[in-house]
């Protein structure tokens, strides 16, 4: 045998979104060069008894996200990358922000600068909070630079867009060939519910869930889709937490609307009851939409099986419990309204989905790969470079032990955040090694990648997010006005 490849992953079972088979994987120049039998390499990584999966692609995580005051999330590109690699994720899509009253350009430039420390490969979503004419004029250049998804929040001050602003973002995306991702909850109704709860003295973390019940997620999901349909602009609905919202997506898909749905591990293993833990502990489980109950979780699995929800992302949020911008920033007895939302989950995404999905028989191995790598890569224009095990693709791979039992602890997460909402959760299935562009960057939990070794992934035009060409009366409002 001659050393045909730089590295050979030998003796594992390769799992793709379509099939599973025994094969060696030969890697040269950071790419997969061959998938076959008896390959020889200068270096060999033994995958006997393990699965060989495409590296995870996490298309929704908040890493070192900039804040209006010039600061940023506590989770830096370096620490977030470490956590991602520890958990078997090799590519992420994180968020550049636009601040109301300000241009996108300087903020995106600063975000790019910070991302220079990444150890995973990365692309960006662009949050648009203030679609003025000036900002819309910036968008063609920003999209052309490879930031090909725009993020719209339908709730949260100061990020939310009203319907007219959301339409302007949809229309800009349609004109310039971008996808729109949407946080769907009803802003005014949440504000009204919050006022009522606080007036009744119901301020503890558990009332976060009461302030935003599923009906408000369903309404906003319906509206987000309806307006996208009006403009004929494809969208992805972020972090679907309940079957009511998933049903809106399913109904639209039956009409042929280009809408996709994402969900997250927190909605499989957390519930509203977690926010009712003693003292202020419940704050650790607060995210939006709120975790629901067992019936909602069962409904989400059904939506995954039906294909309505086809991406599982972490929605990793970079706030600690005690940190300077963390859950207790407004004191340990702050009302739920004043507690930052979001839970960390970069490293726990794959183990929780495997444990809750594959190990329980709810989904198959190839479904797991499709949900966590292949479909997110496709939907965000990164495929086939990312999310697949095929010659020519980047050699991003995870060696996965499907039977390994692990009890999650915050130390295992390797993030900068001072807690995990999954402390003590027993999971089956674990990443034993992570390979990023042919380099073994994690083995047995030890991450060896260098800061700055991640690559920016500019996203060019791709067919999947093309409009359908279905417009009421054949009139294209996006072409006629902003």
Q: Under the criterion CB under 5 A, does residue 208 sit at the interface with Zn ion?
A: no
For ligand URP, the closer CB: 238 or 400:
238
Indicate whether 341 belongs to the interface with ligand URP (CB under 6 A): yes
The dihedral sign for the CA sequence 463, 465, 471, 475: negative
Q: Which does 349 bind (CB under 5 to 8 A by kind): Zn ion, ligand URP, none?
A: none
Q: Return the number of other C-beta atoms located less than 10 Å from residue 386's C-beta.
A: 25
Least distance to ligand URP, CB of residue 343, Å: 7
d(CA 24, CA 306): 32
Residue 341 site contact among Zn ion, ligand URP, none (CB < 5 to 8 Å, cut-off depends on kind) = ligand URP
- Closest CB 134 distance from Zn ion, rounded Å: 25
β-partners of residue 435 are: 397, 440
DSSP 107: H
Q: Which is nearer to Zn ion, 75 or 232 (CB)?
A: 75
Distance of CA 328 to the CA centre of its chain: 25
Nearer to ligand URP, 10 or 62 (CB): 62
Nearer to ligand URP, 122 or 400 (CB): 122
| Residue closer to ligand URP (CB basis): 51 or 127 | 127
Q: Residue 221, by phi and psi: left (phi above 0), alpha (psi -120 to 50) or beta? A: alpha
Question: Of 403, 402, 404, 370, which Cα lies nearest the Cα of 389?
Answer: 370
Q: Per-residue x/- marks for ligand URP, 173-192, CB under 6 A? A: ----------x---------
| Secondary structure, 3-state, 401-435 | EEEEEEECCHHHHCCCCCCCCCCCCEEEEEEEEEE
Smallest separation, CB 21 to ligand URP (Å): 37
Q: Does 73 bind Zn ion (CB under 5 A)?
A: no
For ligand URP, the closer of residues 319 and 430 by Cβ is 319
Residue 288 binds ligand URP, judged by CB under 6 A: yes
Residue 211 binding ligand URP, by CB under 6 A: no
Report residue 467 as tokens: 């409009």
Distance spanning both ends of the chain, measured CA to CA: 63
Does 287 interact with ligand URP (rule: CB under 6 A)?
yes
Contact map string, positions 178 to 207, toward Zn ion, x by CB under 5 A = -----x------------------------
Q: Rounded to an integer, what distance in angstroms lies between the CA atom of residue 86 and that of residue 358?
A: 20
Token reading at 438 = 């042919």
Q: Which ranges in 1-127 belong to alpha helices (H)?
A: 77-86, 105-115
Which single residue is written with the structure tokens 């800009």? 172
Select 74 or 367, whichever has its Cβ closest to ligand URP.
74
Task: Give the span between the Cα atoms of 446 and 440, in whole angstroms.
Answer: 10
Nearest approach, Cβ of 401 to Zn ion (angstroms)? 29
Q: Which is nearer to ligand URP, 60 or 222 (CB)?
A: 60
For ligand URP, the closer of residues 341 and 410 by Cβ is: 341
- Figure out which of the listed residues 317, 355, 372, 374 binds ligand URP, where binding follows CB under 6 A: 317
- Name the residue whose CB lies closest to Zn ion: 183
Under the criterion CB under 6 A, does residue 342 sit at the interface with ligand URP? Answer: yes
CA distance 454 to 63: 14
Contact residue for ligand URP among 219, 229, 315, 356 (CB under 6 A): 315
Binding mask 80-99 vs ligand URP (x if CB under 6 A, - otherwise)? --------------------
Residue carrying the six token digits 């993030």: 415
State the Cα–Cα distance between residues 442 and 344, nearest whole angstrom: 20
Nearest to 420 by CA among 428, 431, 412: 412
Residue 88 binds what, of Zn ion, ligand URP, none (CB under 5 to 8 Å, by partner type)? none
Where does this chain touch Zn ion (CB under 5 A) — which range of 176-184, 262-270, 318-326, 343-351? 176-184
Question: Among residues 217, 229, 315, 394, which is the contact residue for Zn ion, using CB under 5 A?
Answer: 315
Instruction: Give the position of tokens 């402390």.
Output: 423
**In the numeric block, which tokens belong to residue 432?**
């034993």
Among 10, 62, 218, 370, indicate the residue that binds ligand URP (CB under 6 A). Answer: 62
| Residue whose pair of structure tokens reads 């003796």 in the numeric block | 11
Q: Judged by CB under 6 A, how many residues of this single chain contact ligand URP?
A: 9
- Closest approach, Cβ 341 to ligand URP, in A, equals 3
From the list ligand URP, Zn ion, none, pick the one residue 26 interacts with, judged by a Cβ distance below 5 to 8 Å according to partner type.
none
74 binds, among Zn ion, ligand URP, none (CB under 5 to 8 A by kind): none
Read off φ and ψ for residue 226, nearest 5 degrees.
-60, -45
CB contact at 8 A, 214 and 226: no
CB of 111 or CB of 400, closer to Zn ion: 111
From the list ligand URP, Zn ion, none, partner contacted by residue 316 (C-beta under 5 to 8 A by kind) = none
Cβ proximity to Zn ion, 168 vs 183, nearer residue: 183
CB 344 within 8 A of CB 75: yes
Buried/exposed code over 39-56 (b: 16+ C-beta within 10 A; e: otherwise): bebeebbebeebbbbbbb
Q: Which helix (H) or strand (E) holds 183?
A: strand 179-183
Binding site for Zn ion (CB under 5 A): 183, 315
Binding site for ligand URP (CB under 6 A): 62, 183, 239, 287-288, 315, 317, 341-342
């Amino acid at each position: 045998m001659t050393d045909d490849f730089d590295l050979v992953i030998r003796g594992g079972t390769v799992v793709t979104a379509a099939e599973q088979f025994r094969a060696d994987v030969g890697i040269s120049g950071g790419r997969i060069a061959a998938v076959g039998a008896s390959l020889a390499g200068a270096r060999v990584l033994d995958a006997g008894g393990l699965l060989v999966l495409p590296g995870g692609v996490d298309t929704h995580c908040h890493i070192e996200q900039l804040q209006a005051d010039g600061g940023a999330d506590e989770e830096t590109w370096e620490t977030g990358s470490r956590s991602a690699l520890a958990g078997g994720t090799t590519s992420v899509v994180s968020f550049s922000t636009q601040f109301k009253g300000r241009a996108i350009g300087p903020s995106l430039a600063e975000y790019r600068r910070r991302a220079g420390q990444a150890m995973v490969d990365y692309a960006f979503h662009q949050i648009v909070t203030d679609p003025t004419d000036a900002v819309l004029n910036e968008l063609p250049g920003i999209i052309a630079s490879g930031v090909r998804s725009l993020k719209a929040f339908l709730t949260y001050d100061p990020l939310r867009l009203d319907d007219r602003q959301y339409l302007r973002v949809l229309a800009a995306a349609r004109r310039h060939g971008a996808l729109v991702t949407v946080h769907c909850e009803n802003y005014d109704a949440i504000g009204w519910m919050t006022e009522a709860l606080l007036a009744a003295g119901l301020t503890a973390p558990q009332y976060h869930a009461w302030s935003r019940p599923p009906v408000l997620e369903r309404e906003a999901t319906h509206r987000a889709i309806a307006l996208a349909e009006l403009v004929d602009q494809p969208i992805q609905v972020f972090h679907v937490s309940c079957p009511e919202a998933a049903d809106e997506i399913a109904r639209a898909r039956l009409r042929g609307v280009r809408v996709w749905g994402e969900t997250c591990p927190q909605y499989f293993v957390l519930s509203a009851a977690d926010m009712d833990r003693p003292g202020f502990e419940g704050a650790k489980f607060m995210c939006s939409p709120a975790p629901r109950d067992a019936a909602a979780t069962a409904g989400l699995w059904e939506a995954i099986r039906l294909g309505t929800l086809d991406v599982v992302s972490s929605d990793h949020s970079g706030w600690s419990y005690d940190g300077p911008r963390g859950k207790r920033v407004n004191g340990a007895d702050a009302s739920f309204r004043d507690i930052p939302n979001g839970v960390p989950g970069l490293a726990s995404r794959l183990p929780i989905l495997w444990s809750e999905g594959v190990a329980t028989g709810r989904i198959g191995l190839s479904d797991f790969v499709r949900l966590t790598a292949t479909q997110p890569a496709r939907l965000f224009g990164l495929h086939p470079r990312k999310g697949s095990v095929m010659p020519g693709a980047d050699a991003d791979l995870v060696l996965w032990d499907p039977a390994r039992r692990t009890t999650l602890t915050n130390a295992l997460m390797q993030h900068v955040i001072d807690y995990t909402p999954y402390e003590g959760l027993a999971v089956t299935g674990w990443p034993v090694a992570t390979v990023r562009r042919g380099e073994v960057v994690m083995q047995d939990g030890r991450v060896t990648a260098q800061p700055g070794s991640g690559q920016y992934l500019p996203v060019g035009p791709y067919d999947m997010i093309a409009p359908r060409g279905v417009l009421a009366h054949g009139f294209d409002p996006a072409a006629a006005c902003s």
